[in-house]
Amino acid sequence: MQPSPSEIARTLAAGHLPAVAHIACRPGPVPVRHVTDTQGRILLLVPAEGTLAAALRPQDGNDDTALVLDIRDVPPMAASPSLGRVWVSGWAARLDGEDARAAALDYADTDATGDLLDIGGSQAIYRMDVAEVRWERNEKLVEIDPDDYAEASPDPLRAVEFDLIADLADHHDEEMSDYVRRQLGKAARPGDDPKVVRMDRYGFLVRLGGRSARLAFPRPVTDRHDLAHLLHPILCRRCTAA
């Protein structure tokens, strides 16, 4: 198994990557801080008196402002392939009172920044309802149904993917190489030096010279601790021998 387009879009939009906003009838693009809530809606944390807040101010009697959020993947390693980029389109409205406080708690689930304490003062929070989602990778554009996007969940390993891959390379390179060769069987060639270059809840991608191979986990993992439990027999030689 591997992530669906909806899951990749939710992972890219989750809030761990930089984003820029293209705001209707405004110059841009404009860098913006964001996360997504459990329903996939975009939460924007904006300086209350800045140019971004001015650009998001509704016009012509509207309650919200149309914008497109553009988010590009940042691969964890130099040799890692990119997951592409996602465009999320919709309408953003400023939240106040109880709605702002609830949104701040949702924001803190992904990014517990101290600026959340200044909402209503120096900071403002906006919620963007999603109308359209597009995912591009390797010059292929995929239109994603907003309901499928909302129902998908971001990958639980994305925020720690670099740490996980670096740990395998630094401390478990030999064990992982042996495991990959066993899994590939005759497809493994003499002189191959397998390197893990990407990882997600379903498995990992390895590079073998100019080739790549994807190896699946027995089941999707739920978090970093679940992954450690799953990989323990592979990385612990004594356990494997037993």
Cis peptide before 29 (omega within 30 of 0): yes
Q: Does pLDDT of 174 surpass 90?
A: no
More confident residue, 194 or 73: 73
In the three-class reduction of DSSP (H, G, I as helix; E, B as strand; rest coil), residue 8 is classed as helix
User: Residue 79, SS3?
Assistant: coil
Do the beta carbons of residue 46 and residue 123 sit within 8 Å?
yes
* Mean pLDDT for the chain overall: 92
Question: Is residue 100 classed as helix, strand or coil in its secondary structure?
Answer: helix
pLDDT for the residue numbered 183: 84
Output the six-digit token pair for 107: 């924001």
Q: Name the E strands within the chain.
A: 19-23, 30-36, 42-47, 65-72, 85-95, 123-137, 140-144, 195-200, 203-208, 211-216
pTM score of the predicted model: 0.91
CA 12/CA 72 separation, integer angstroms: 7
Distance of CA 146 to the CA centre of its chain: 17
Residues 213-241 have a mean pLDDT of: 82
Q: Please give the average per-residue pLDDT across 144-173, as a whole number.
A: 94
State mean pLDDT over 185-212: 86
Q: What are the structural domains of the chain?
A: 5-152 (2.30.110.10), 160-241 (3.20.180.10)
pLDDT, one tens digit per residue, over 34-53 is 999 999 999 999 999 988 99
